[in-house]
Chain A
Amino acid sequence: MSQTIRFLLDGREVQVGGLAPTTTLLDWLREHAGRSGTKEGCAEGDCGACTVVLAEAHEGRLRWQAVNACIRFLPTVHGKALFTVESLRAADGTLHPAQRAMVECHGSQCGFCTPGFVMSLFGLYQTQPKPDDTALADALSGNLCRCTGYRPILDAGRQMYALPAPHSAQLPPPAWRNDPAAEAALLTRLAALDDGEALRIDHPSGRYLAPCSATDFARQYAEAPQATILAGGTDVGLWVTKQLKPLPLLLHTGAVREFAHAGEYRDARGNWLEIGAAVSLETAFAALLREYPEATELYRRFASRPIRNSGTLCGNVANGSPIGDSMPALIALGAEVVLRRDQQVRSLPLEALYLDYRKKDLAAGEFVQAVRIPRRPAQAGFVFRAWKVAKRQDQDISAVFAGFALRLEDGIVVDARLAYGGMAGIPKRAAGAEAALRGRPLDEAAVADARAALAKDFQPLSDMRASAGYRLQVAQNLLTRLQLELQGQFPTRIHDEESRRAAV
């Protein structure tokens, strides 16, 4: 057991002890490390002024991730390399291309959001040598700017690649991901941090445990079921920054080796894609999209890049919010959850996990160890759609989310799984609408019946995101969209590249 948080800052080892485990990375930077460049704009991971970049070893390479420091607890940085806006400028004063491009393109006005944008651009610079505009916008999807209107920042994101790359002497290593020597050097330093011991912090305000094996994690949670499980912290972070809630015992998934698994799983029933409890949304989606490219909109609109880098798919599922976006899509696909309590493991269809608002079929000490998603069906006639409706395209919470998976044979719907978010206290299938479609061609008459059935399937609520009436109308209209889109006669999407291009 180690009581000391160890990580690299600008490539140099830092050791921190004696702080409350819920100390955010942002507060540590600003109040303890004298790095006030990183800003707090909202303290909930929605504005990006606090964006920093982490690097960690992943399959022998460095994995770079822009994350929100404001809701990230400091102990979760243990074993990683941290870079902040102060890291980028070379000792001789040379600006990093991300910084210089921002200056040259007039990308800052009041400057308060700027460090966050610079770090998101830096994160992009480190991970993608030649991003297109979609990738660029995606990298900036978690950064709000109230002054510029973004155009100059987008220009800076393009221009930084045309500027001379920093070299190792200018920047804390590694200068650039294609600088193998620098990358190797940082990997070596990261490896040196790992003493194989689990991090455990005992502080008067609470305890933090980050076991390294699934067995330890499961046992510790079974022994202390009152513990708060901490994965990416994109929700739990707000319990601290917004609700000011004490968290006496945190059990972190991030150090558990087995929980990092994202890949194939086979059992008697077939082949699955398994996503472990500590797998980030970004990594989970990379795997999911290979199987189901129709989930691209879900991926882009799910949350900002920094949130997807921190947050986990299992966390979204386990949290079970009625407006969580992954579940309707996963339920439609027939996903299962793997639940574990100490040594006992069971699996459950995902929709069976949700009993009632914030009530789940989870025993005390039981947790979501993985999500398993069926591999793409081989048969023709498989249709999958995952659609989000919200006030804003980037980083918003759904008014309605729909996940539709259908199997058509000779034009007849033989199976329909229609799941919705935002329509009930839990993510839920539309049983009546499904029945209305089954055994019929997907035509206007069938959709009309399904629409009518939806009004019985759901009694949505009104809130600041949408009224009940709107939610139902849109839920119905998405069925119409499904039908029209499969007909393919005219554009049905404004967020779809092709129909947008046709429009311009």
Chain B
Amino acid sequence: MQPSEAVDLAIPADHVAAPAVQGAVGSGLAHESAVLHVTGGATYIDDQPELRGTLHAAIGLASAAHARIRRIDLAAVRAAPGVVAVLDAASVPGLNDFGPVVHDDPIFASDEVQFHGQALFAVLAEDMRAARRAARLAQVEYEPLPALLDVDQALAAGSRVLPDAHLRRGEPEAALAAAPHRLAGSVRHGGQDHFYLETHIAYAIPQEDGTTRVHSSSQHPGEVQLQVAHALGVDAKDVVVECRRMGGGFGGKESQPGQIAAITAIAARLTGRPVKLRLDRDDDMVLTGKRHDFRIDWEAGFDDEGRLLAVRFMQATRAGYSADLTGAIADRAMFHADNAYYLEHVDILSHRCKTHTVSNTAFRGFGGPQGLFGIEEVIDAVARHLDLDPLAVRKRNYYGIGERDLTPYGQKVEDNVIAELTAELEADCDYAARRAALRAWNAASPVIKRGIALTPVKFGISFTATHLNQAGALLHVYTDGTVLLNHGGTEMGQGLFTKVAQVVAEELQIDVSRIRVTASDTSKVPNASATAASSGADLNGKAAQQAARKIKARLTEFAAAHYGVREDQVVFRANRVHIGDNAHRDGGNAAATGKAGVPLSLSFAELAKLAWMGRVSLSATGYYRTPKIAYDRETLSGRPFYYYAYGVACSEVAIDTLTGESKVLRTDILHDVGRSLNPAIDLGQVEGGFIQGMGWLTSEELCWSDDGRLTTHAPSTYKIPAVSDVPEIFNVRLWERGINTEDSIFRSKAVGEPPFMLALSVWHAIKDAVAAAADYRVAPQLNAPATPEEILRSLTEARQREAEQRAGAAA
């Protein structure tokens, strides 16, 4: 179904020729639920009216990081007021597992606890508070086992959830040895809690003949369906999973909802009553996985201009106690160890460390931010070593066009626009003049120091697991000409339902208000991939487009036959279908009017009704698979990505050298979304992703106690960006010249994840300000997040090193 047209870099013909239908592709239509959002009318799972007899569940959490369970006494739990039943591992009728890839994620721990906060049992009670109160009454005796809590301990112990991976090109050792300059370092960044505003929730309703319907706040209902079926020991056909919308996902609801849903489904089957489980915020933060934190050791060889001649990375990530999606995340970190830079001689070693902490999971960027973090550290260190503007070093190392364009994994970068974007933003935001002015300002300001950085993003688009790059859609046209659309994607706020509806509006040339997108539902579109990897609109938009084109083809064929015209004389435009060709008719072509009494134009609704009368099927499925991609997981080579998304950001910050506090003063962003399906929604993704990335790198700090307990498990202690953290000057622009050179949906580009990494501009601006605190004589050693404490530590250390250097030079 791929149109086999040659690559046309102009705006697609149907894009410009279309007279306005409301909500056509390219219009900045408001989110389909915007009015519901602002009036309180948007229904999330907890807002649904509860069915009679609904029970509420709460989870009993382990209070040891690694231990054998000697004894669990649940008598007090069972005896608590309102308690109806208690579930544990023995209650699971099927498989006690919700692991999405490897089966190492027990729904309930049975004899061994593997992290502080792991689920041990669930209480069912008549109301939610009774369940939560009872869940705290368990008496558990633990036999402590040695616990590995961080990457360093796991590396030392050789503890892994998955085998190491190694990616290599050229002769890195020889090139390092021959390089005029060499540097090495080690840097770390923290994890990140998703902090979706809606915590995990599922509501299971037992239905006839052993079947179950589960409402799950999930980015991947198809996976939840299988997880629930396995846990229940039933077939996929016996479980339906539905999700109208999530109150945020960000990757946190990709693999994690399976456990929540499975518990409700098991409970519903056991009791015969509907069961709801909504996690308290603190429990959500303790129980469910987060972004993978990394330690990255690096070594680089480079020339006098800062051109990288060889780079070695050791990426060690804390997977937590189980594999979850760590394999693909760590792979993506390797694939993004280059960012926008050509690395001729390169060696990347990846360790997926097993620790006795919560199992880390997908989070916007999925390893990409971690990969970029490493190479940007290298570039910054090289520039500071040579006393060059880091931007100049960045530009020198960019992938070439037609040369120096092969990634370490062997994919040719064919759509490289990073230099163009950089040049445009650099001029727009007056980078050079501001950098000079800032340095002069710093010279006269001993307490407040300012920093600036301009950083690029190149991000590969596609699931690296090639088989996931497929999607389905289901489209019904009713006899009044309205459309019901369903697809395998989920709505978590990113505007997917809006964009896909726009695609169908464009294809059928009807107002978007005549299209209703319904809840993701495994009984409507089967085997759907997760809405993840920024791929939602790319995949589901194409699938819906194909369904719409099928319908359109049927209607065209019918109308042509009905009115006796050629198919190319049936034109869908602005809620109407024009039969015959006005221009031809004017030219005297009698065929245009067809049979006697033929109308020249009828509404889409009239044609739909007519087609139904003529016994034409008005329901169609659509299917899409991404072309061109092929990649060998064993050798880590091939073409994992259909295309790349690009963006650049320049940030200026101020730091307080007395307290370490920081503030973003200005950010300018230029981001390539190709031909935007919806510029308003895309802008929202760019800005929101940037701020979320800024939180990861600045204020969001996950802390654990020495015994492995998460101590930042609520918004009182875990600080995501708030309104005052928005840059005071915040200029964000979608690149007008952007277009996807691949045949993506209306030549748009994926936008969910790439902007997250634009926040590295803030990170490097902070490093620049810290460097300023030591007269730009040393490269700061800063780990993320750059909390006030970390900034103060780093600048104190930098000043010491600078003083030692000076003393050394004087001696």
Contact = CB atoms under 8 A, between A and B. Distances in A.
Interface of A: 30, 35-44, 46-47, 49, 84-86, 88-89, 95, 98-100, 102-104, 106-115, 118, 137, 140-141, 143-154, 242, 244, 389-397, 399, 463-467, 470, 473-474, 477-478, 480-481, 484, 490-495, 499-500, 502-504
Given A484-B447, A500-B665, A500-B728, A464 B687 contact: no
B773 to A, nearest CB: 13
Per CB-CB distance, the 8 closest pairs between chain A and chain B, nearest first, are A37-B40, A110-B493, A112-B247, A111-B37, A149-B691, A109-B493, A46-B715, A85-B40
Interface string B482-526: 000000000011110000000000000000000000000000000
Interface residues of B, number: 96
B38 A95 contact: yes
Given A484-B447, A493-B656, A143 B723 contact: yes
B15 interface: no
Given A492-B658, A494-B661, 5 more contacts: A141-B722, A150-B723, A393-B663, A467-B789, A470-B792
B445 interface: yes
A374 B194 CA distance: 46
Given A41-B198, A102-B38, A503-B448, A137 B719 contact: no
Nearest to B492: A110
B444 interface: yes
Contacts of A389: 659, 661, 788
Contacts of B692: 146, 149
Nearest to B693: A149
Nearest to A41: B197
Interface string B694-715: 0000010101000000011011
Contact of A106 (B34, B699, B703, B719): B34
A112 B43 CA distance: 10
B716 interface: yes
30 contacts: A36-B47, A42-B715, A43-B280, A95-B39, A99-B38, A106-B31, A106-B681, A108-B34, A109-B493, A110-B245, A110-B249, A111-B36, A112-B196, A144-B722, A146-B248, A150-B726, A154-B726, A242-B280, A242-B282, A393-B663, A394-B722, A464-B703, A464-B711, A473-B796, A474-B792, A478-B658, A490-B444, A491-B448, A495-B661, A504-B666
Interface stretch (B128-136, B140-148, B622-630): B128-136
A103 B35 contact: yes
B192 to A, nearest CB: 11
Interface of B: 28, 30-31, 33-44, 46-47, 129, 132-133, 136, 194-199, 245-250, 280-282, 441, 444-448, 450, 492-495, 652, 654-656, 658-663, 665-666, 680-681, 683-684, 687-692, 699, 701, 703, 711-712, 714-717, 719-726, 728-730, 732, 787-789, 792-793, 796
B501 to A, nearest CB: 16
Contacts of A98: 38
B54 to A, nearest CB: 12
B493 A396 contact: no
B687 A151 contact: yes
A467 B494 CA distance: 38
A316 B750 CA distance: 48
Nearest to A143: B723
A331 B770 CA distance: 35
Given A393-B725, A399-B788, A37 B445 contact: no
A88 B280 CA distance: 29
A502 B445 CA distance: 11
A89 B721 CA distance: 30
Contacts of A39: 44, 197-198, 247
B41 A37 contact: yes
A112 B197 contact: yes
A390 B670 CA distance: 32
Interface centre among B38, B44, B450 (most CB of A within 10 A): B38
Contacts of A89: 39
B650 to A, nearest CB: 13
Given A113-B197, A470-B793, A149 B726 contact: yes
B656 A494 contact: yes
Interface centre among B495, B711, B722, B732 (most CB of A within 10 A): B722
A107 B495 CA distance: 12
B53 to A, nearest CB: 16
Given A144-B720, A153-B723, A85 B39 contact: yes
Contacts of B493: 108-112, 147
B687 A148 contact: yes
A481 B703 contact: no
B448 A146 contact: no
Nearest to A463: B711
A41 B658 contact: no
Nearest to A470: B789
B490 to A, nearest CB: 11
Contacts of B42: 111, 114
A49 B197 contact: yes
A390 B245 CA distance: 35
A338 to B, nearest CB: 30
Contacts of A109: 31, 493-495, 684, 688
A354 to B, nearest CB: 22
A103 B796 CA distance: 47
B599 to A, nearest CB: 35
A108 B726 CA distance: 16
A103 B30 CA distance: 7
A391 B788 contact: yes
A442 B725 CA distance: 34
A493 B129 contact: no
